[in-house]
Amino acid sequence: MPSFPDEPDFVLPRPRAASRPRVPKSAFLAGLIFLLFLVAHNAVPLYTDWLWFGEAGYRNVFTTTIAAKTGLFFAFGSLFFTLLFTNLQFARRLAPEKADRFLRERFGPVWAPVMQRGLGWIILAVTLFFSLWAGRLAADNWTQWLEFSHATPFGTADPVFHHDIGFYVFQLPFWSFAVNFLLTTLILTFAGVVAVHVTHRAIDTFAGLPDIAPKVKGQLLILLAAIALTYAVDTRLGSYDLLTSDNGVFSGAGYADLHYRLPILNLQIILLIATALACLVSLRRRSLRWVGLGVGAWLFTGIVIGGVVPGALEKLYVEPNQFTMERDYIARNIRYTRQGFGLDNVQRVNSFAADESLTASGLRANRDTLDNVRLWDYQYLGKLYGQLQTVKNYYKFEQTNVGAGTSYNLDIDRYTIGGRVR
């Protein structure tokens, strides 16, 4: 029989499994130290303010402020975290099998699960960071919350929407903030969910068109419906700003606002609600045609009709006949301005006994006052100087913005003339 040689003296080394990385304890320790630093950093000024308000006898003011800030921080921060983290985690669970296959092909069978867990920790860390930011943003609106929770009616309703004036003073600012906060949260959540689905290949392209899994489409449509409904509420609250808009001649809702802008805003609200309903109806349909039509109609109404038509009609139709068409609205502005300043019950006196006893001796006795009476109106003096110097161009008088207009920057000063201050 043929003899075989003995086994070789060397043995090939077996491949060892790659060791899985572990999160170092130093990272947790650093995070804990940073958290303790934040607590200590804020505890010192808080304790100082506690002592100061106590010495001044207003400690209840301090506790009310802290309670309002803390409550808003945790309420809105928790709302932001719940919406964002829950949707991102649900998006990860909807990942198709090809997502795991892609990770295994790219990083190997050992590192693919590690990458999945790492993505989960990254999502948690990012969500916590933005939740802290959202809570801090909400805490800065503590005055609006206290006004909202302690609102008092004025007993007078506005002539357009028929809400009590107290609603606009005390409640509308906080409602606007809360709705804008929810809208921003939903938009960020939608963007994050889309990013997760794209990363997991749940949103892919086929023949140049987006290929979306049915469950993924359902999550995106529900978020779009929520965004549309929230934006409809935000548009409704924004329409109340017409009551305080500046029309150049007066402040408040004018002819163009009530006949053009407000109907277009109401049409946008209807289209947003219809878009939300189209999203919910499309959950059981493959076609997104009605959703696209709703979004397109809303964009066309807001940008083209709402942005161009009211301005053009106001320039071409209202402004040439402004004092005729705006007469009722100007009278309304005057009436409510008088009521706001408490001038609606002023007693008018048409005739009264004037003191006609002013004599030369009285003028001499008040000479210092008369000598310091301002002789020039600086507003018209600035225009006059501007016209004169336009021709000669020796000097240039600076104009500053004052409210909605401009004013010449002319100073009124005191000068010593003949030993007397004038």
List CB contacts of 164: < 8 A, sequence separation 6 or more.
153, 154, 155, 156, 157
The residue among 299, 172, 183 whose CA lies nearest residue 237 is 172
Give the pair of three-digit tokens for residue 168: 């606009």
- Asked if the model's pLDDT at residue 369 lies above 60, the reply is yes
The tens digit of pLDDT for each residue in 411-422 reads 777 788 888 877
Percent of the chain with pLDDT over 90: 28
pLDDT of residue 199: 76
What local confidence, expressed as pLDDT, does residue 102 receive? 53
pLDDT in tens, 156-177: 899 999 999 999 999 999 999 9
Query: How many degrees, rounded to 5, is the angle at CA 81 between CA 75 and CA 86?
Result: 130
Q: Please tell me the predicted confidence (pLDDT) of residue 20.
A: 43
Highest mean pLDDT among 17-31, 215-229, 286-300, 369-383: 215-229
SS3 258: helix
Rounded distance between C-alpha atoms, residue 413 and residue 109, angstroms: 83
Vertex 406 angle, CA 404 and 407, to 5°: 135
Q: Residues 331-353: what's their mean pLDDT?
A: 85
Give 9's pLDDT tier (boundaries 50, 70, 90): very low
Do 230 and 267 touch, CB atoms closer than 8 A?
no
> CB-side exposure of 70: number of CA atoms within 13 Å?
8
- Residue 370 CA to residue 379 CA, distance in Å, equals 21
pLDDT exceeds 80 at position 301: yes
For residues 360 and 368, give the distance between their C-alpha atoms in angstroms, rounded to a whole number.
14
Q: Tokens in use for 229?
A: 């409904």
**pLDDT score at 267:** 92
Query: What span, in angstroms and rounded, lies between the C-alpha atoms of 201 and 404?
Result: 53
- pTM recorded for the entire structure: 0.70
**For the chain, the helix, strand and coil percentages under 3-state DSSP, each to the nearest 5:** 70, 5, 25
